[in-house]
Amino acid sequence: MVIGVFALQGDVREHVHALTASGASAIAVRRPSELAQVDGLVIPGGESTVMSRLSKVFGLLEPIRERIASGMPVYGSCAGMIMLASTVLDGRADQESFGGIDMTVRRNAFGRQVDSFETDLEFSGVEGDPVHAVFIRAPWVEGVAPDVEVLARVSGGPADGRIVAVRQGNLLATSFHPELTGDLRVHDLFVRMVQEADNQATEEAVR
């Protein structure tokens, strides 16, 4: 099982380290030939408008969309959440996403860099204590379709109740950065998702 990290922009190294610590083999993905080698993909935090532009320049936009449509598991954190959204608010007019999760995301919803903060979240599907979440120029989810599972919301403060983690099928997204905290539980969850998808594909191939 190999999980790629979209490596044209963003905090790639931290995700590679977290995936490796969670038991996966991780590689950087910068071109379609590398994307073809992976069983799952992480889209890291960074700058979604730059990711959009570079994915087109390097020929990754359509191949990633095709892999998502074919069922490849993908996890997006912060800017990665924006890249997985079907609708993006407050983005550039020419900004494109990979899509896949039927949700509306507001870019930079929590404010600018100086408004970055940390908090603890109750996270559905993750056992143990609340997940400590780091938000840096983070988006939030304005709304989701009925088949999108809400995994976490902010509790308290001016953003009380805002959706910050979701799952739809093989796609997972958080508006925060678990790769920065040393808590591997979100990455563990995604590695399990990739394993389950790989097992299902193997069973279908045998039938």
Q: Do the beta carbons of residue 55 and residue 18 sit within 8 Å?
A: no
The token pair at 78 is 């912060």
**DSSP label at 175?**
S
Q: Using alpha carbons only, how large is the chain's radius of gyration in Å? A: 16
Q: How many CB atoms lie within 10 A of CB 106?
A: 21
Which residues are marked as active site? 78, 177, 179
- The DSSP result for 59-103, as a single string, is T-HHHHHHHHHTT--EEEETHHHHHHEEEEES--TT------EEE
| Residue in this structure with the two tokens 């001016």, named with its chain if needed | 158
Q: What's the Cα-to-Cα distance from 129 to each of 25, 121, 150, rounded to whole Å?
A: 27, 9, 18
